[in-house]
Chains A and B, each alone.
Chain A
Amino acid sequence: MSPFMKRCLWLWTACIAACLPMNAKADEKLRVVTTTTDLAAIARAIGGEKVEVTSIATGREDPHFIAAKPSYMMATRKADLWIRVGLELEIGYEELILDGSRNAKIRIATPGHLDASEGVLRLEVPTQRIDRSMGDIHPLGNPHYWIDPLNGRIVAKNIGRRLAHLTPENAEYFADQTKAFQRQLDERMFGPELVGKIGGGKLWALLLKNRLEEVIDKPGQPPLGGWLAAMRPYRGRKIVTYHRSWSYFAHRFGLVVAAELEPKPGIPPSPGHVADVIKRVKAEKIKVLLMEPFYSRKAPDLVASETGIIVVQCANSVRGQPEATDYLSLMDGIVNRVSAALSR
C-alpha cells in the first residue's frame, strides 16, 4: 500500500469516527422541518442544541413555488415538527409534501404541525369577495409577514411554545432561548441602551401606539439605535416594489409603497403597467425600487433607464444573499440596503 493510500485510509477512518457520535446524538434531537429558511433560522435560534432543523426552500427561490425532490419527502418522513409560514403561502406544495411524507406526526391540526402565522400582525386581509382576476390575492392576508421584526418576534414565541409542548422536559430551555432571541431582536431594532433602560416589550408597545417619541425625546434618555434609527430619517418616503412582498417592511418603518411593477400580485409586468409606473416615478420623484433577486431585472432596469430610479436587489429570505445567514442578519441586510439607497 502506498503512503498516499494509507493516508487516505486514515482520513476515511477518521471521518467515519467523527460522524458516528454525531449520528447517535442526532437521534435524540427534535427533528424540525420548515418550509422557508426564515422559519428555519428562527427555529434554530430558539431550539439551539435540542433541535435539528431542515428547510424545504433554499431562500434563493420564489417561495410560492417549489420543485419536487425526493429529499423533501425524506426530510419530512422522520420529522417531529413541521412549521409553515401559513396564510396560504405554501398552498401550492404543502399538502403534496405532507401526503408524500406519509408521516402522521406532522399532519395538519396535530401538535406536530405549526402554522407560524398564529397571532402575527396581518396586513391586506381582503374585505370583499376575491377572485383570480385580481391576481394572487391571499384570502387570509399578505403572507410575506416575516420581514416585520414584530412578527419575527411573534413567530419566535410560537415556535418556542410549540417546542416546549412537544418536549415538556426542555420547556424552560426553550423559554430562555425565546427570551434571549427576543432580547437580541429588540436590541437590533431599538438599540441596546434603550432596550436596557426601558425594556423591549414596552418599546414595541410604544411604537405600535405611535407614542415612541414621547419617551425617547425626554432629556436624559439614551438615543434610539438599531434598525429603527437607521430608517427613521426616511419615514413617509415613497418606494416602488416588484411584488407585493414588502408591505410589512414598509409598514413597520413608515415607507409608502407607491406602486408595484407587477400589475397584480404574481402577474409579470406588462408594457402598459410599466409605462404607468414610469409616469408615477417621474411625477412623484420616487428614488428606490425594491425587488427580490429571483425576479427578472428586465422591467426594473427599463424603469431605471427611463427615470434614474435606484434598483435595490434585496433578498427577503434567509440565505437569499450570502450575508443573510440568520434572521437578524437578514433584517440587517434589508435595512442597510434600503437606507443606503434612500440616503442617496
Chain B
Amino acid sequence: MERLVEAFPLLVLPFVACLVIASLHCYMGLHVIRRGVIFVDLALAQCAALGAAVALIVTPLVDSHPHHHNGESPIAAVSESQLADQLSLEDDHAPVEPKPPAHATVVAEHHDHDDGTMSLTPAMSLFFALLGALLLSVARLRDERIPHEALIGIIFVVSAALTVLILSKAPHGHERMEAMLVGSILFVSWPQVTTMLAIYVVLGILHVALRRPIMRITGGGVAAAERAGVRVKLWDCLFYGSFALMVTQSVSIAGVFVVFSFLIIPAACASLFADRFAAQLILAWLVAVITTVFGLVLSAVVDVPTGASLVACFGAVLVAFAMARTLARKNHKGTS
C-alpha cells in the first residue's frame, strides 16, 4: 500500500495515456471484431515497426552530433602519460585535493542524442503503416478466393521478417525490437499524450461523421454493402488509413502487445454481454478503464514492467468475463 502511494504520481501520466488509447481503440476494436480482421492491428503495427527500423538505419548518427564532426569530443581525453604524472605525485600529497566539481563542463550537450532519428521515425512509421493499410484495402479480392485474413497474415510476417533483416544490421537491433513489442508506457511524456489526443480527436470526429457507410461494411459484410452501392474500396481505404494512423501513435508509446490488448480484449468482453453497438462501446470503455487501473496498480505494487502487467490484467479480465457468461447462461437455462 505504501508502495502504491509512493508510485502514484508516476502512474498519473501513463493512466491518462491509457485513457486516450482506450477511447479510440475500443471503438475500432468493435469494428475489427465484427469484420473478423483481428490481426489487422498486428499487421499494421508491424508495418509501423518496419518504418521505425528503416528510419533507424537511414539516419546517420553524425547528424545528432554536430560537434563531433572533426572527431573532437566535449570532454578532453586524458592520455596515459598525463595520468602517470598525476599519479606519481599522489603518494606524497593527500590524494583528494578539494576542488569544485567540474559538473558544468561535463557533457550537457548530448541531451538530444536521438533528435535526428526522432524526427524521421514517426514519419517513416506512418508511411509504412499507411502503405500496409492501402495494400489491405485495395488488394481485397472480389471473389474472396484468398480470405482477407490471409492477406493480413502475409503483411504481418513479411514486414516482421523485413524488420528482422534491417535490424540485424543495426546496433542492438534485437533489443530495439523487443522494446517496440513491450513498449514503455511508464515513460510516456505530456507532449506525446497531447499529440496522440489531438490526432485521436480528429479521427474520432471523422468516424462519427462518416459512420454510416463504414458501419454498413462492418455490419452487413462487403458483398451486401457493395450491392447497396457503397464504394467499399474507398471506405476501406479510409478505415484502414485511420487505423494505421491510430496504431502508429499508440504503438510508439505503449508497444505492440499493449495496443493489441486495448483493441481486442475490451471489445471482446463487451461482445459477450451486449448486442447493440453503442452498448458494446460503453461496456468496452468501462472494461478498459477498470483494467487499466488494475494493471497500473499491479505494476506498482509488485514492481514489474508496466506494459506486461497491463496485458496480463486484460487477459485475466477476459477469462473472468467468459466465466461469468457461462454461468449466466447456465442460470438462464435453469430458470427457463
**A residues apposed to B, CB below 8 Å:** 62, 64-65, 67-71, 73-74, 77, 86, 88, 91, 95-97, 99-100, 102, 108-111, 113-115, 117-122, 125-133, 135-137, 139-141, 150, 154, 157, 160-162, 164-165, 171, 174-175, 178-179, 182, 199-202, 204-206, 208-209, 264-268, 270
**B residues apposed to A, CB below 8 Å:** 3, 6-7, 9-11, 56-57, 59-62, 65, 68-69, 71, 73-75, 77-78, 80-81, 83-85, 87-91, 94-96, 98-104, 106-108, 110-111, 113-114, 168-175, 179, 182, 184, 186-187, 189, 299-300, 303-306
Chain A residues in 8 Å Cβ range of B59:
132
Chain B residues in 8 Å Cβ range of A130:
61-62, 68
A-B pairs with beta carbons under 8 Å apart, 21 shown:
A67-B179, A67-B305, A68-B187, A69-B186, A74-B3, A77-B10, A86-B107, A113-B103, A114-B101, A121-B78, A121-B80, A125-B71, A132-B59, A132-B61, A133-B57, A135-B171, A137-B61, A150-B83, A208-B84, A268-B168, A268-B173
- Contact indicator B10/A109 (Cβ below 8 Å): no
- Contact indicator A109/B104 (Cβ below 8 Å): yes
- Contact indicator B96/A178 (Cβ below 8 Å): yes
Chain A residues in 8 Å Cβ range of B90:
199-201
- Contact indicator A100/B187 (Cβ below 8 Å): yes
CB-nearest residue of chain A relative to B11? A70
In the complex, how many angstroms separate the beta carbon of A294 from the nearest chain B beta carbon?
11
- Contact indicator B75/A117 (Cβ below 8 Å): yes
Do A266 and B101 form a contact, CB below 8 Å, given A178-B95, A182-B95? no
In angstroms, Cα B181 to Cα A315, docked, is: 28
In the complex, how many angstroms separate the beta carbon of A116 from the nearest chain B beta carbon?
10
- Contact indicator A161/B101 (Cβ below 8 Å): yes
- Contact indicator B106/A118 (Cβ below 8 Å): yes
- Contact indicator B186/A204 (Cβ below 8 Å): no
In angstroms, Cα B97 to Cα A201, docked, is: 15
Q: Which listed residue (A70, A139, A178, A209) contacts B300, Cβ 8 A?
A: A70
Chain A residues in 8 Å Cβ range of B71:
125-129
In angstroms, Cα B7 to Cα A139, docked, is: 36
Q: Given A131-B60, A132-B57, A150-B83, output 12 extra A-B contacts at Cβ < 8 Å.
A: A64-B175, A77-B6, A102-B9, A113-B103, A131-B62, A132-B60, A161-B96, A175-B95, A200-B91, A205-B84, A265-B171, A266-B170
- Contact indicator B77/A125 (Cβ below 8 Å): yes
In the complex, how many angstroms separate the beta carbon of B37 from the nearest chain A beta carbon?
31
In angstroms, Cα B178 to Cα A65, docked, is: 10
Q: Which listed residue (B65, B104, B186, B303) contacts A100, Cβ 8 A?
A: B186
Do A88 and B113 form a contact, CB below 8 Å, given A70-B7, A141-B73? yes
In angstroms, Cα B329 to Cα A67, docked, is: 43
- Contact indicator A64/B172 (Cβ below 8 Å): yes
In angstroms, Cα B300 to Cα A69, docked, is: 8
Chain B residues in 8 Å Cβ range of A199:
90-91
Do A201 and B171 form a contact, CB below 8 Å, given A71-B303, A113-B103? no
